Structure 1
Amino acid sequence: MKTTHFKAFITCLTLILIFGCTPKEKPKKKYNVLFVSIDDLKPTLGVYGDTIVHSPNIDALAAEGITFREAFCQAAVCAPSRASLMTGVRPDSTRVWHLGDKFREINPNAVTMPQYFSKHGYHTVNIGKIFHNYMPDSVSWDEPDLRPSRYLKKDWLKRDGETFYISPKVNASQALKRDSLLKLRPVRYADGWNTGPAWEAADVHDTLYYDGAQNELAKKTLTRLAKMDKPFYMGLGYFRPHLPFAVPKKYWDLYDPKNIPLANNPNIPKNAPLQSMNSMYELRHYDGFSYLPKPTQPYEMPLDTIQKLRQGYYASVSYIDALLGQLVEYMKQIGIYDNTIIVVWGDHGWKLGDHNSWGKMTNYNIDLKVPVIIRHPEQKNKGISSYAITELVDLFPTLCELVDIEVPNYMQGTSLVPLFENPEQDWKSAAFSQFHRRPKVSADGKRYMGYSINTAKYHYIEWYSWNAKKGIRGELKDIELYDRVKDPYETINIAVGDSLNQIKQELSAQMVNGWVSALPK
């Protein structure tokens, strides 16, 4: 052996003995994750074809990423939808079926997305609403439930970010109402603070409303996280456009309420069963709306009130859009934007007079369809849209694959990463959702579970009686069928009669076979 070769051999052998392997390049730092939840956000965005809304910042983010145009939530209400998304399994597996169900009490050993990322070397931080408001789930985060300093008052620790107003008069009224409510029952949603008007348009700086204040906290936190020697996963949950529509006046001024079109489907679907509709108790809770009956009963809301509510929703969307734009610009300034995956999602849709109703809590697509936008720093195909059927339960495995973490084998969703390369490829044949209709809010005082399946052509729903204690379905009570192509606003239930029996049988069988049978081939 030549002397030079022998020296090289000795050098390599020495490196192996010292380091246990041959020398390698320094591994590239893993991508950070900014996981942005926008409460009650339906696809009211320019990138989804809404020509009225002002959403330039989210649209700009979409222009760098991929927009999923046919995304569905698993349940059209906060707690079940978020529990499913954050654990990667569906509501019948989480057993979170309505607002009061707490997934951590039901399954103490559940592993959430931030928990899983923390186990794989990520520093996880929570600001705002990621799980349900009063369930921040400290187990999931290295830094749970961070809040702006001025909201850390003792009496506000159980209060939700959506309940704050600017008006001193409203604040005084809230305190009086809360005292009265807590005397009647000491344990209440939002600790009794969720009272007040359905809207507010104070002429103040963005940071004086809660979402703006927590946006500033997010900036400070990102500055700190950027200096860490490990990647971060930040869950940032904005509270608007959830009621009340309380946002700075300048966002209301973006819209002339008379120019915002009214709902395309202002009536309950023809032939729809009573249990299909929500009760509107959410809006009824706010000042001046206690007169509202259930949507199944006739009522007349003044046109100017309808216009005001629709304007408030749009103003709230634009407020959050502006805040997210400010945050993205700040990420660029501190040098972390180019190494951060950003996911923007809504937890369910929202009716703005659609189906004679306001709010969510149905199995109709106005409530099930949600925005999902993912921006990856090194995405080759930028500004693309996918019309493949996708679901919120897909986000957990998708993010695992994007950051090169092993996908847990119990996931009930599918990684969307292949759609980044080819958004037009064959994908899922259906999306699955459900809704638990409780006796105190159902039109006939009975309990139901409604199961929904959406294919490219049809939306099929089966309603069963439901045993809440055992968590099992009983007798089939009603079915609904909507033609998604001919009747996209779901105005007529065509399940009535025998003319479509074969289609109903096929969809029912597909529902029984479940989500596994609908996976991409």
Structure 2
Amino acid sequence: MKFKPLSHVSFRMFGALTALCAFCASVSTAQQAPSNQQEEALNIVMIVVEDWSAFAIGAYGNEVVQTPNVDRFAETAVVFDRAYCQGPVCNPSRASFVTGLRPDTTRVYGNGEEMDDFIPAGAPSMAEILSRKDGAYLATTGKIVHKWEDAGRFAKGYDFLEYSHPYDKPPGFEGELRFLPWVQGGPREPEEEAFYLADKEMARRLREAREERDAKLAAGAEDNWPLRKPFQQLHAEQLGDSGLPAEMMEDGRIARSASGLLADLAKREEGPFFLSLGFYATHTPLLAPKEFVDLYDSDEMELSPATPSKDVKVPQVARRNGRNYDIFNGFYPEFDPTPERERKALASYYACASFVDAQVGIVLDAIEANGLADNTIVVLFSDHGFQLGEHGMWSKYSLFEQSTRVPLMVRDPRAKANGQRCDEIVELVDLLPTFCDFWGLEKDSLFEGVSFAPLLDDPQQEWKQAAFSMIPIGGLGRGVRTRDFRYAEWRKDKAHATDQSGEVVHELYDLTRDPLEQVNVVDDPLYQEQVRYLSQLLREGYHAAQP
């Protein structure tokens, strides 16, 4: 069913009234496992979507984007309005939530740091920990870690591993390995989707760039970033119609594979199962099947009012020094961010959101169809957000709200608060400790997150004071987000916030007055008490903000 797109975007604030009413539970009560965790362990389905902004989901207030499946799911789940990632780029975020550790501990700050090489030996692992549950069966398909070939030891514990790219069996993995089923007539690998483009000129240019790269490799060139850059940067600039039907695209294949897995898992008679599945849209290239592209008229898209010209004392490093690292990357001047192309990019992003929503719907329907709704916990979230032109920025990779805030919805059939919203702060690093509570497993002493399971019964109880995120730009930026403020410090190296030496760039935004973070008030005399408090909180770290 198609809906006529609206001509404007309005982001409503949900849950504020309930958050102001009262915090009626004591800290000791908050630390107790809720009643819905005392019963027999249920199955867990974890759905993670790449780059999906909370600001591009109907259930989070966007009145233009069409996400009917997730919106319906939200009506039956606990919706977290203040959920944050620890690293607003794929690799550090995923390294964090599969270990329950923060980037300073995983040592994975960006996409170039391989999990197997950087994460210390003995770090917790989601699959290994959950596999300790008696009778449990663990399966995964799609994208969970950044690359399995860089994170092979974190595959240990899965009984079934399916991926869309061919790769060697991870060392130590003893389960079943399968390549995502190929659809006759479709691309065998996601990269090949570029050549199915409805935009034949772009497809031609991509083919030429790839052939040039392949020729250099054949001649003995090193497969490095400078060699891959022309193809990959051009690849990121694609917008609109993929030229493929949904079932041939990678996410369509993942959803259909997951549906089949759920049908098989429903027949199991011993122990719960854990199914983790990862979708790629809304990551660039912003391509979707035509039926979803047709939902949005580029000419009707309204661009963000948070233009760079309205930024006041916002430091350049916070805006990536004027660079985009993905779409609008500057490598091809003809794809510079003109208003017309930005509107097309926004419409294409929404089309991808609607496409991935439909794939999530296939999975949710399979849970219902196979009689799993009453004994399966469903957790839906994104690894990080996505800048949609705010401050002149596109894609992730910033400490602004659009990059660090993520959608997070949890439906436990036994939870008392299903259908309600939670305005308390939670973080993705909290997911693994929460899963331990779901299955009654002992939490690893190294965990740096805290289970938010109590909030599923009482979402209004007082919880964390703040969320912490970091990103490697110009060294390293570290941010702390409280209910009303965001404070950040940027240093020229990766020194901890406790190190006060050297040049530091500071930011402070009052999001009660400035929700788009356009006025840096760090030097305003009226905010110096907040600056002192938040700088101290950033130095003390997450321990000082725990519930």
| TM-score category, normalised to shorter length | 0.7 to 0.9
Q: Which amino acid aligns with 1:271?
A: K
Instruction: Look up the match of 1:142.
Output: 159
Alignment of 1:305-344 (within 5 A): 305-344=341-380
Note closer, same or farther for the CA distance 1:172–1:431 as it changes in structure 2 (3 Å cut). same
2:476 paired with 1:465: no
Give the gaps of 5 or more residues in structure 1: 1-26, 293-300, 438-446
CA offset digits 1:164-185 (Å, max 9, x no partner): 5523845744641441564643
1:239, CA displacement in angstroms?
0.3
CA offset digits 1:114-173 (Å, max 9, x no partner): 221112242222211111145473432332243423289xx97xx667965523845744
Counterpart of 1:313 in 2: which secondary structure?
helix
Contact 1:162 1:243 in 2 (8 A): no
TM-score, with structure 2 as normaliser:
0.80
Equivalent position to 1:408, from 435, 444, 454? 444
* Structure 2 CA distance for aligned equivalents of residues 286 and 231 of structure 1: 49
- Give the length in aligned residue pairs: 472
* Structure 2 CA distance for aligned equivalents of residues 204 and 404 of structure 1: 44
2:223 paired with 1:186: yes
Alignment of 1:155-234 (within 5 A): 164-167=194-197, 169-170=203-204, 172-173=207-208, 175-180=210-215, 182=217, 184-187=221-224, 194=232, 195-196=234-235, 197-202=237-242, 204-228=244-268, 229-234=270-275
* Structure 2 CA distance for aligned equivalents of residues 35 and 286 of structure 1: 36
1:28, CA displacement in angstroms?
7.8
Contact 1:341 1:377 in 2 (8 A): yes
Counterpart of 2:116 in 1: which secondary structure?
helix
Equivalent position to 2:302, from 229, 241, 261? 261
Equivalent position to 1:125, from 111, 124, 139? 139
1:334, CA displacement in angstroms?
1.9
Q: Which amino acid aligns with 1:429?
A: Q
Note closer, same or farther for the CA distance 1:486–1:83 as it changes in structure 2 (3 Å cut). same
Contact 1:88 1:397 in 2 (8 A): yes
Alignment of 1:32-431 (within 5 A): 32-43=43-54, 44-106=56-118, 107-121=120-134, 122-133=136-147, 135=149, 137-139=151-153, 140=155, 141-147=158-164, 148-150=180-182, 164-167=194-197, 169-170=203-204, 172-173=207-208, 175-180=210-215, 182=217, 184-187=221-224, 194=232, 195-196=234-235, 197-202=237-242, 204-228=244-268, 229-267=270-308, 269-278=311-320, 279-284=323-328, 288=332, 292=336, 301-431=337-467
Instruction: Look up the match of 2:176.
Output: none
Q: Which has the larger radius of gyration?
A: 1
Contact 1:340 1:376 in 2 (8 A): yes
CA offset digits 1:302-344 (Å, max 9, x no partner): 2221111000100000001111111211222222232211111
1:90, CA displacement in angstroms?
0.7
Contact 1:467 1:474 in 2 (8 A): no
Q: Which amino acid aligns with 2:285?
A: P
Contact 1:64 1:382 in 2 (8 A): yes
2:515 paired with 1:488: yes
Contact 1:128 1:161 in 2 (8 A): no
* Structure 1 CA distance for aligned equivalents of residues 325 and 294 of structure 2: 29
Q: Relative CO higher for 1 or 2, CA cutoff 8 Å, sep ≥ 6?
A: 2
Cα RMSD of the aligned pairs, angstroms, is: 2.9
Contact 1:452 1:461 in 2 (8 A): yes
Q: Which amino acid aligns with 1:109?
A: G
CA offset digits 1:446-493 (Å, max 9, x no partner): x4211101111211111122158xx98852421001001000100111
* Structure 2 CA distance for aligned equivalents of residues 282 and 118 of structure 1: 37
Instruction: Look up the match of 2:478.
Output: 451
TM-score, with structure 1 as normaliser:
0.83
Q: Which amino acid aligns with 2:475?
A: Y
Counterpart of 2:502 in 1: which secondary structure?
strand
2:522 paired with 1:505: no
Counterpart of 1:67 in 2: which secondary structure?
strand
Contact 2:123 2:446 in 1 (8 A): no
Note closer, same or farther for the CA distance 1:149–1:256 as it changes in structure 2 (3 Å cut). same
Q: Which amino acid aligns with 2:515?
A: P
* Structure 1 CA distance for aligned equivalents of residues 528 and 242 of structure 2: 55
Counterpart of 1:475 in 2: which secondary structure?
coil
Counterpart of 2:182 in 1: which secondary structure?
helix
Counterpart of 1:280 in 2: which secondary structure?
coil
Q: Which amino acid aligns with 1:211?
A: D
Note closer, same or farther for the CA distance 1:358–1:79 as it changes in structure 2 (3 Å cut). same
Instruction: Look up the match of 2:23.
Output: none
* Structure 2 CA distance for aligned equivalents of residues 262 and 37 of structure 1: 27
Deviates more, 1:102-111 or 1:347-356: 102-111
Counterpart of 2:93 in 1: which secondary structure?
helix
Q: Which amino acid aligns with 1:149?
A: P
Note closer, same or farther for the CA distance 1:219–1:465 as it changes in structure 2 (3 Å cut). same
Counterpart of 1:79 in 2: which secondary structure?
helix
Instruction: Look up the match of 1:22.
Output: none
* Structure 2 CA distance for aligned equivalents of residues 174 and 496 of structure 1: 48
Deviates more, 1:328-337 or 1:486-495: 328-337
* Structure 1 CA distance for aligned equivalents of residues 416 and 302 of structure 2: 37
2:543 paired with 1:516: yes
Contact 2:100 2:124 in 1 (8 A): no
Deviates more, 1:309-318 or 1:260-269: 260-269
Deviates more, 1:136-145 or 1:487-496: 136-145
Note closer, same or farther for the CA distance 1:448–1:288 as it changes in structure 2 (3 Å cut). closer
Instruction: Look up the match of 1:440.
Output: none
1:258, CA displacement in angstroms?
2.8
Contact 2:58 2:67 in 1 (8 A): yes
Note closer, same or farther for the CA distance 1:151–1:361 as it changes in structure 2 (3 Å cut). farther
* Structure 1 CA distance for aligned equivalents of residues 334 and 137 of structure 2: 45
Contact 1:162 1:240 in 2 (8 A): no
Give the gaps of 5 or more residues in structure 2: 1-37, 165-179
